[in-house]
Amino acid sequence: MSGIVTLTAAGAIDATYRVGTLRRGAFARADSYTREVSGKGVNVSAALAAGGARTAAVVVLGADDVRFARCGLTAPLLRIVEVPGATRVNTSIIDAEGATTKVNAPTPPLSSGAWAATLAALREELALQTATWLVISGSLPKLSGSEELVELAAVRAAAEEHGARVAVDTSGPALDALLAEPAGIDLLTPNAEELSAAVGRPLATLGEVIAAARETVERGVTTVLASLGADGLVAVTADRAVFARADAPFVANTAGAGDAALAGFLLGLTREATATAAGDDPLAVAAASAAEWGAHAVAHASTLVAGPPHGIRALVETDPDLTRVLTPEGEE
């Protein structure tokens, strides 16, 4: 059975605090606290494994935290590349109303030796998993002593060498560079805000998001999966756009929802679909699966999902209403 390999070049420890009330400048005592190995690719692999897929997560972690990582629930999935020191910590604070405040630590640079070791581990896992997809997820570090990000050309070459398609879920300067020259990427997963920045105009309706996504497709991306937050998501190709939305049973933690949605989309593409409202349309099945996994994820207290979604069914539109007005950022 073929698998899916994820690459997290800037691994993290996710620390999640639950508090009654969060007030700026005030003292708050947490009601609960969890700590888990994370990073976007690790989250994607955890969701893929929960959905029954074969997967491996190549992740760069500080040596101080490797023992902890090897004792966690995701340990069997991890292909760890050790670097000196501690792993960065990303912090989520969730208040009684379910709002998530998230602070991510800066991405530490990688030495050229650590990057070479990461590429070697990646090539080995692509071969071991006979991978059909390589998912590049999360922040990309700079090379030590340089202002340049680690070079993705070698990563994409490794995927091509092993016959794996490439999905990318990143942000900031790395996303800007990819959006400027995205040819050869099979799946790109920006949110509406990132698409807006890429095209230099506001995107207030579903039709405007689809038009912006299609501009990226025209530059060489096969599919754009655009997250619309509470409004759902839309999968866009050169000639199609499929909208999907699913309601979560409740909201416990919004961190990691996008990672679960990406995993759901890949599960929908790579596995035989069960009966859904999307019927036998592969793109619609994948979009529905993405929406359902995203809704499933926000009902989890932690960043990582446990098990596949049950009882969540997406609304799917293969001919979406282009005039639909999107919820302004920050509102629900």
- Count of alpha carbons within 13 angstroms of residue 132, beta-carbon side: 10
Question: Is the predicted pLDDT of residue 151 greater than 90, yes or no?
Answer: no
Q: What confidence score (pLDDT) does residue 173 get?
A: 85
Average pLDDT, the chain: 90
For the chain, the domain total comes to 1
How many angstroms separate the CA atoms of 226 and 114, rounded? 32
How many angstroms separate the CA atoms of 37 and 128, rounded? 23
Catalytic residues: 259
Closest CA to 104 of 25, 12, 7: 12
330 found inside a domain: no
Q: What confidence score (pLDDT) does residue 7 get?
A: 98
Residue 119 sits in a domain whose CATH number is 3.40.1190.20
How many angstroms separate the CA atoms of 242 and 233, rounded? 8
How many angstroms separate the CA atoms of 39 and 57, rounded? 10
313 found inside a domain: yes
Question: Is the predicted pLDDT of residue 240 greater than 80, yes or no?
Answer: yes
- Count of alpha carbons within 13 angstroms of residue 210, beta-carbon side: 21
154 found inside a domain: yes
How many angstroms separate the CA atoms of 156 and 184, rounded? 8
Question: Is the predicted pLDDT of residue 279 greater than 60, yes or no?
Answer: no
54: burial class by Cβ within 10 Å (0-12, 13-18, 19+)? Answer: middle
327 found inside a domain: no
Confidence of residue 253 (pLDDT cuts 50, 70, 90): low
328 found inside a domain: no
pTM for the structure as a whole = 0.92
Confidence of residue 180 (pLDDT cuts 50, 70, 90): confident
Closest CA to 35 of 92, 102, 77, 107: 92
How many angstroms separate the CA atoms of 55 and 65, rounded? 22
Between 118 and 198, name the one with better pLDDT: 118
Strands 12-18 and 89-94: parallel
Domain that holds residue 165: 4-317
Question: Is the predicted pLDDT of residue 101 greater than 70, yes or no?
Answer: yes
Q: What confidence score (pLDDT) does residue 1 get?
A: 61
88 found inside a domain: yes
Mean predicted confidence (pLDDT) in 303-315: 84
322 found inside a domain: no
How many angstroms separate the CA atoms of 239 and 260, rounded? 26
329 found inside a domain: no
Q: What confidence score (pLDDT) does residue 41 get?
A: 96
Cα 96 to Cα 20, 70, 230, 270, 316, distances in angstroms: 5, 32, 19, 38, 31
